[in-house]
């Protein structure tokens, strides 16, 4: 163990304070890159470190906050800057004769870019650029890595992995919170604590953003949430402008008084950030040195989280939505094979609305590249929904891919007692963190008794402990197996749950509906078994939250077991429900608002999707011919809306609502049509060009094209010219639509057209976007300029000779 | 709470001054309500001396800009405010979510309403700076953003560094110098001794055939 780690959390340590304002006082310009001073002004940089060692800092940062290849593209210069940055602090420490009890921290700040899915920086690119800096820093003599001023938990994760994969150094991690206690990307003290403990950093904390007064309640939350030492490096108060300069509102005296309160609350490492100087640190040391020190306390909490939401296991049963799993689901299988991830995301969003706390994500399908699909789907899901995920795969590579890219601390499904599984999965759980689902089966098969299952669970616990995985980060599956094959199986499962809880103090999980395979009316058995399982201590239930029966069992059990004060949750869910829950089977939801007259054409014209679908179904039930319904009603109605839009009597939002209604009616018709009858007019590729991240326009065109009978290959946004060409060549696509919103990205549109001309000379190109004009489109060599979305549809009809 | 000027929202939606239908109006209200829950307005701004080099270029504390349009806008000023403002990632998430469930009309309304709201937020920040300047007997020029006219987007890198934009309000730049969160604005605001008429927004743009052109602003 490093000397630093022996002291961290056992005694109060002091970090350094701000650097920028000290260097500016020595002549650094506001717009200058400060890290370059490591090479050009070595003595100035060194003197800052000297000042902090003299003031009482035990840990001083290298001047390498922004030293990464995005800011310094020349690798030789960058390496020299990092080495010199660390070297100056090492030298300062030598001059103070403090080699024995002071530490040099390699300082790593954010890239300044936002990671995918919200931004454009690739996760592995971030890991790589942090990694090289970490390697150089360790070689130059750093004792630890400080990753600081992060306001995106995913970027923090990339930096932590980079430090751990490239060095043996201790890693400390501090984030910027705002007054509401949130990171820019939504993280909270609790979610950051969960994720970073999972990643096994050595200390976590807060820095920058606010002063010690505003940070006080945030530090309190962090101390309550984490078992790790807590670092507090605030600014010198809040900034204000004074004569064109930024000044902070706390004097060194006021700052140190506020820091003393934070020390008394139990923070373990104290320092400063923007606006603080050695004087601030010196007074903080003076005021806090003799205060009693409380080492961190292990909290034994079982939590999973996303980038913003924390789910605590154990308070009440956690609902894990099971729908993102292709087993036995034809539509989802097709969507996965066609890489239609939007359909998968829609499944996630609907489960969130139905009350899921966590979503299971399983993409296991024969012939599918499971790891690649997982790598694409996890970020895609996290781009639009904030529920924690359960990464679920029997393919170790897919499991690792999901864990690596996941923003937060996930559930991991699963490990079992077989040697092969233990050796493959436990290291992943140890590296990435998560609550691990353990199946109590091994080389001997599934134990038939609760006794046997508890024994395997014990074995898994012991093995996991070797990797430092605590029992609160394990949930054991009770293994529900159908009672149609073995009448005693439910009893064994329930007994297993009770014994795991009572004898081992473990959390438990079940795939509840497995209990009823082969039986009629499965929902009835499932719901009753679910209630019994909850009464036997079930912590996590993998169920379909869209099942009225399951959710009724869940809400009833909460109310009956006293976990729903005043039955508020129950009443909120069912208070408005008319008639019996059981009267109409699964469709016993509130009846849809009664259609108040009007034809199917009217519903499309006025954009009423639900009503359009209902009317289409009624017409079909009344004997209408599906093809006639499409050709004589739906298409003319949609066309009328399109013409109205082109004539300026209807607006884009109306056109889109009508398109939505037509789509709902189309899918009602398609339910009764066999696949062969669904004619496709042609295939069109759509992409927002490289460098551009605006995709609403492109997506509007997509919706309309699909409505008018085209198959659309949507390549997304920020798409390289090569990717467009490859897709066009692969499927022999005759029409490509390109979108660009910014003047600055039109050259990239031009480059795409040029490459298409070379490699796919027969493919036509239609372009659109706010900055384009007819003349501009001609200039960059497009075949057609679509001023509005409908223009693109009309042009497609022209190219494919239809319409 | 930030408001969204409905006239502006409808203009962004392409209504060109006409009355919205009931469905559009309802979608817009839904979008505004959702956005008001989701936005996290933040800003950073600071005053800098403005210098001019020999060949007509501008120099703001080492940030060098060659732009005829900006030079015109800043004529007679020897100081500027730089400002950066954002609504945070909330609008981006809402828009992504609406698109993921295929609710394109809602995505479009969210896009238009959040565009109006970031303008409103910038106006609020701008007003604060105007009052501060007035206290020193100065008046402000209309704010001018990288990307307007011939003011190059390249200036974003330097402007971000001068204001510490990423560190203070969490806005980042993409490889192609676009801002994320997308509902973010940076601007230069000239500080002068007297007001001079200068064209702003739509009136400063020569794209007279733009579908979103605001005719009201053609005559300042």
φ, ψ of residue B8 to 5 degrees: the values are: -65, -45
CA pair distance B161, A629, nearest whole angstrom: 61
Whole-number pLDDT of residue A608: 87
Helices (H), A56-169: 75-95, 123-139, 153-166
User: pLDDT higher for A397 or B216?
Assistant: A397
Q: Out of A180, A241, A700, whose CB is closest to B104? A: A700
Answer yes or no: is pLDDT of A803 > 70.
Answer: no
CA pair distance B204, B85, nearest whole angstrom: 21
Cβ A12 vs Cβ A230: under 8 Å: no
CA pair distance A779, A632, nearest whole angstrom: 41
B109 part of contact set with chain A, CB < 8 Å: yes
Q: What angle do CA A795, A717, B204 make, to 5 degrees?
A: 80
User: CA gyration radius for chain A?
Assistant: 30
**Residue of A52, A147, A54 lying closest to A109 (CA atoms):** A147
A224 part of contact set with chain B, CB < 8 Å: no
Q: Out of B95, B168, B174, whose CB is closest to A113? A: B174
Cβ A248 vs Cβ A236: under 8 Å: yes
CA pair distance A132, A79, nearest whole angstrom: 9
**Residue of A684, A683, A748 lying closest to A722 (CA atoms):** A748
Which chain A residues are within 8 Å of B184, Cβ to Cβ? none
A667 part of contact set with chain B, CB < 8 Å: no
CA pair distance A705, A688, nearest whole angstrom: 16
ipTM of the complex, rounded to two decimals? 0.87
A333 to A223, A320, A329, A339: CA distances (angstroms): 45, 20, 6, 10
B61 part of contact set with chain A, CB < 8 Å: yes
List the single best residue of A31, A149, A243, A694 to mutate versus B (max B Cβ within 10 A).
A31
Please tell me what DSSP assigns to residue A569. Answer: H
Query: How far does the CA of residue A449 sit from the closest CA of chain B (Å)?
Result: 45
A745 part of contact set with chain B, CB < 8 Å: yes
Which chain B residues are within 8 Å of A690, Cβ to Cβ? 176
Q: Which residues in chain B (153-172) have CB-CB distances under 8 A to chain A?
A: 153, 158, 160-162, 166-170, 172
Please tell me what DSSP assigns to residue B190. Answer: E
Answer yes or no: is pLDDT of B219 > 50.
Answer: no
Which chain A residues are within 8 Å of B209, Cβ to Cβ? 773
A315 part of contact set with chain B, CB < 8 Å: no
Q: Which residues in chain A (684-703) have CB-CB distances under 8 A to chain B?
A: 690-696, 699-700, 703
- Closest CA in chain A for residue B156: A31
Judge residue A569's burial from the number of C-beta atoms within 10 Å of its C-beta, 0-12 exposed, 13-18 middle, 19 or more buried: middle
Q: What is the largest CA-CA distance in chain B?
A: 58
Q: Per residue in B156-192, pLDDT tens?
A: 999 999 999 998 999 999 988 999 999 999 999 999 9
User: How many percent of chain A have pLDDT more than 70?
Assistant: 97
A208 part of contact set with chain B, CB < 8 Å: yes
Ordered structural domains, chain B, with CATH: 6-200 (3.40.109.40)
Whole-number pLDDT of residue A597: 60
C-beta atoms of A703 and B102 within 8 A: yes
- Closest CA in chain B for residue A180: B40
Whole-number pLDDT of residue B198: 67
Which chain B residues are within 8 Å of A152, Cβ to Cβ? 170
DSSP H or E run through A108: strand A103-108
Helices (H), A252-306: 252-265, 278-288
Whole-number pLDDT of residue B135: 93
Q: Per residue in B133-146, pLDDT tens?
A: 999 999 999 999 99
B214 part of contact set with chain A, CB < 8 Å: no
CA pair distance A184, A570, nearest whole angstrom: 35
Answer yes or no: is pLDDT of A274 > 90.
Answer: yes
C-beta atoms of B160 and A112 within 8 A: yes
Q: Sort strands A507-511 and B184-192 into parallel, antiparallel or unpaired.
A: unpaired
Which chain B residues are within 8 Å of A31, Cβ to Cβ? 61-63, 158, 161-162
Within a 10 A sphere around the Cβ of A578, how many other Cβ atoms?
8
Judge residue A570's burial from the number of C-beta atoms within 10 Å of its C-beta, 0-12 exposed, 13-18 middle, 19 or more buried: middle
Residue linked to tokens 């030293």: A67
Within a 10 A sphere around the Cβ of B141, how many other Cβ atoms?
22
Residue linked to tokens 């606010």: A210
Write down the pTM of the prediction. Answer: 0.91
C-beta atoms of B101 and A110 within 8 A: no
Please tell me what DSSP assigns to residue A313. Answer: T
A803 part of contact set with chain B, CB < 8 Å: no
C-beta atoms of A244 and B166 within 8 A: no
Provide the token pair at A109: 């700040």
List the single best residue of B62, B101, B105 to mutate versus A (max A Cβ within 10 A).
B105
C-beta atoms of A118 and B180 within 8 A: yes
Ordered structural domains, chain A, with CATH: 3-288 (3.20.20.330), 303-317+385-564 (3.20.20.20), 600-673 (1.10.1240.10), 680-799 (3.40.50.280)
Residues 6+ apart with CB under 8 A from B52: B58, B59, B71
Q: Cα B156 vs. chain centroid, distance in angstroms?
A: 13
Average pLDDT, chain B: 90
Q: Per residue in A323-333, pLDDT tens?
A: 999 998 999 99
B54 part of contact set with chain A, CB < 8 Å: no
Whole-number pLDDT of residue A610: 87
The DSSP secondary structure of A357-406, one letter per residue, reads SEEEE----TTS-HHHHHHHHHHHHHHH--S-EEEE-SSHHHHHHHHHH-
CA pair distance A125, A418, nearest whole angstrom: 35
**Residue of A187, A184, A364, A761 lying closest to B86 (CA atoms):** A184
Q: Out of A32, A149, A690, whose CB is closest to B62? A: A32
A637 to A206, A375, A679, A792: CA distances (angstroms): 58, 41, 19, 19
Q: Which of A10-24, A223-237, A428-442, A698-712 is the least confident region?
A: A698-712
C-beta atoms of B180 and A693 within 8 A: yes
Q: Out of A114, A345, A695, whose CB is closest to B172? A: A114
Provide mean pLDDT across the span B55-68: 90
A264 part of contact set with chain B, CB < 8 Å: no
- Closest CA in chain A for residue B82: A244
Cβ B157 vs Cβ B60: under 8 Å: no
Q: Per residue in A342-386, pLDDT tens?
A: 889 999 999 999 999 999 999 999 999 999 999 999 999 999 999
B7 part of contact set with chain A, CB < 8 Å: no
Whole-number pLDDT of residue A296: 97
Answer yes or no: is pLDDT of A230 > 60.
Answer: yes
Which chain A residues are within 8 Å of B61, Cβ to Cβ? 29-31
Find the distance separating the first CA and the last CA of chain B, reported in whole Å.
Answer: 28
Which chain B residues are within 8 Å of A149, Cβ to Cβ? 167
Query: How far does the CA of residue B5 sit from the closest CA of chain A (Å)?
Result: 18
C-beta atoms of B161 and A691 within 8 A: no
Q: Per residue in A513-523, pLDDT tens?
A: 999 999 999 99
Answer yes or no: is pLDDT of A674 > 80.
Answer: no
Q: pLDDT grade, residue A146 (50/70/90)?
A: very high
Sequence length of chain B is: 220
Whole-number pLDDT of residue B218: 45
A751 part of contact set with chain B, CB < 8 Å: no
A149 part of contact set with chain B, CB < 8 Å: yes
Q: What angle do CA A790, A793, A795 make, to 5 degrees?
A: 110
Within a 10 A sphere around the Cβ of A246, how many other Cβ atoms?
18
Cβ A162 vs Cβ A130: under 8 Å: yes
Paired with B51 in beta bridges are B59
B125 part of contact set with chain A, CB < 8 Å: no
Whole-number pLDDT of residue A675: 55
SS3 of A617, please? helix
A119 part of contact set with chain B, CB < 8 Å: yes
CA pair distance A123, A115, nearest whole angstrom: 6
């Amino acid at each position: 163990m490093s000397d630093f780690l022996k002291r961290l959390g056992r005694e109060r340590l002091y970090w350094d304070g701000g650097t920028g304002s000290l260097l500016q006082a020595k002549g650094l310009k506001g717009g200058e890159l400060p890290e370059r001073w490591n090479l050009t002004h070595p003595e100035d940089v060194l003197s800052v470190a000297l000042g902090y060692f003299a003031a009482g800092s035990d840990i001083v940062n290298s001047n390498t906050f922004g030293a990464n290849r995005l800011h310094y593209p020349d690798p030789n210069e960058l390496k020299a800057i990092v080495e010199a940055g660390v070297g100056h602090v090492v030298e300062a420490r030598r001059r103070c004769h403090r080699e024995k009890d002071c530490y040099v921290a390699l300082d790593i700040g954010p890239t300044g870019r936002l990671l995918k899915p919200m931004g454009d920086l690739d996760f592995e690119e971030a890991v790589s650029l942090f990694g090289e800096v970490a390697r150089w820093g360790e070689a130059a003599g750093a004792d630890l890595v400080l990753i600081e001023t992060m306001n995106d938990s995913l970027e923090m994760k990339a930096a932590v992995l980079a430090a751990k994969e490239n060095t043996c150094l201790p890693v400390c991690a501090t984030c910027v919170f705002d007054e509401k206690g949130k990171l820019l990307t939504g993280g909270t003290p609790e979610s950051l604590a969960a994720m970073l403990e999972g990643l096994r950093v050595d200390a976590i904390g807060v820095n920058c953003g606010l002063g010690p007064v505003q940070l006080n309640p945030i530090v309190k939350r962090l101390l309550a949430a984490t078992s790790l030492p807590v670092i507090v490096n605030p600014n010198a108060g809040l900034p204000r402008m004074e004569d064109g300069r930024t000044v902070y509102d706390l004097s060194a005296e006021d700052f140190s008084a506020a820091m003393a309160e934070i020390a008394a609350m139990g923070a373990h490492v104290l320092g400063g950030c923007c606006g603080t100087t050695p004087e601030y640190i010196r007074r903080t040391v003076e005021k806090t040195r003799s205060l009693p020190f409380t080492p961190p306390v292990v909290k034994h909490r079982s939590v999973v989280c996303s980038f913003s939401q924390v789910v605590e296991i154990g308070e009440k049963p956690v609902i894990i939505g099971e729908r993102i799993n292709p087993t036995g689901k034809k539509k989802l299988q097709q969507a996965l094979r066609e890489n239609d991830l939007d359909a998968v995301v829609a499944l996630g969003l609907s489960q969130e609305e139905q009350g899921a706390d966590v979503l299971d994500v399983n993409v296991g399908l024969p012939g599918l590249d499971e790891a690649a699909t997982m790598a694409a789907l996890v970020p895609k899901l996290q781009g639009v929904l904030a529920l924690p995920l359960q990464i679920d795969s029997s393919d170790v590579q897919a499991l690792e891919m999901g864990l690596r890219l996941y923003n937060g601390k996930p559930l991991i499904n699963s490990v079992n007692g077989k040697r092969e599984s233990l050796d493959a999965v436990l290291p992943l759980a140890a590296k990435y963190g998560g609550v691990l689902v353990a199946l109590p089966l091994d080389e001997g098969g599934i134990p038939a008794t609760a006794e046997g299952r508890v024994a395997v669970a014990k074995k898994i616990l012991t093995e996991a402990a070797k990797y430092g995985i605590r029992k609160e980060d394990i949930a054991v599956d009770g293994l529900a197996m159908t009672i149609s094959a073995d009448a005693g199986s439910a009893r064994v499962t329930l007994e297993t749950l009770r014994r795991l809880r009572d004898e081992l103090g473990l959390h438990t999980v079940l795939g509840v509906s497995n209990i009823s395979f082969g039986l009629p009316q499965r929902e009835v058995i499932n719901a009753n078994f679910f209630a019994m399982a909850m009464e036997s201590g079930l912590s996590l239930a993998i169920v379909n939250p869209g099942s009225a029966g399951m959710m009724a069992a869940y809400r009833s059990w909460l109310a009956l077991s006293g976990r729903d004060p005043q039955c508020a949750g129950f009443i909120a869910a069912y208070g408005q429900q008319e008639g019996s829950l059981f009267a109409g089977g699964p469709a016993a939801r509130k009846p849809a608002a009664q259609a108040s007259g009007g034809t199917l054409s009217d519903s499309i014209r006025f954009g009423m999707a639900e009503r359009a679908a209902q009317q289409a179904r009624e017409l079909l039930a009344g004997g209408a011919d599906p093809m006639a319904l499409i050709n004589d009603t739906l298409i003319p109605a949609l066309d009328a809306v399109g013409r109205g839009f082109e004539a300026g009597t209807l607006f884009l939002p109306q056109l889109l609502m009508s398109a939505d209604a037509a789509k709902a009616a189309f899918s009602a018709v398609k339910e009764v049509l066999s696949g062969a009858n669904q004619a496709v007019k042609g295939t069109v590729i759509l992409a927002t060009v490289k460098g551009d991240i605006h995709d609403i326009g492109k997506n509007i065109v997509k919706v309309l094209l699909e409505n008018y009978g085209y198959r659309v290959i949507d390549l997304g946004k920020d798409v390289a010219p090569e990717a467009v060409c490859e897709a066009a060549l692969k499927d022999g696509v005759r029409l490509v639509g390109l979108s660009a919103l910014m003047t600055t990205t039109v050259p990239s549109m031009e480059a795409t057209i040029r490459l298409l001309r070379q490699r796919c000379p027969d493919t036509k190109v239609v372009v659109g976007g706010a900055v384009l004009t007819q003349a501009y489109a001609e200039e960059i060599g497009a075949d057609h300029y679509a001023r509005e979305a409908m223009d693109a549809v009309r042009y497609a009809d022209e190219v494919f000779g239809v319409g | 709470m930030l408001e969204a000027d409905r006239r502006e929202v409808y203009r962004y939606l392409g209504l060109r001054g006409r009355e919205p239908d009931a469905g559009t109006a309802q979608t817009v209200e839904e979008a505004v309500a959702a956005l008001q829950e989701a936005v996290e307005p933040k800003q950073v701004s600071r005053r800098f001396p403005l210098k001019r080099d020999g060949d007509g270029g501008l120099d703001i504390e080492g940030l060098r800009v060659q732009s005829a349009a900006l030079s015109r806008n800043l004529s007679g000023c020897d100081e500027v405010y730089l400002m950066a403002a954002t609504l945070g990632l909330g609008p981006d998430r809402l828009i992504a979510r609406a698109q993921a469930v295929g609710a394109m009309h809602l995505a479009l309304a969210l896009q238009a309403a959040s565009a109006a709201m970031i303008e409103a937020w910038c106006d609020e920040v701008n007003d604060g700076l105007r009052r501060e300047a007035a206290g020193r007997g100065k008046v402000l020029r209309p704010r001018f953003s990288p990307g307007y006219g011939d003011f190059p987007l390249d200036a974003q890198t330097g402007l971000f560094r001068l204001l510490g934009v990423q560190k203070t309000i969490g806005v980042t730049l993409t490889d192609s110098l676009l801002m994320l969160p997308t509902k973010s604005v940076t601007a230069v605001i000239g500080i002068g001794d007297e007001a001079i008429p200068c064209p702003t927004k739509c009136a400063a743009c020569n794209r007279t055939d733009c579908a979103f052109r605001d005719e009201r602003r053609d005559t300042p």
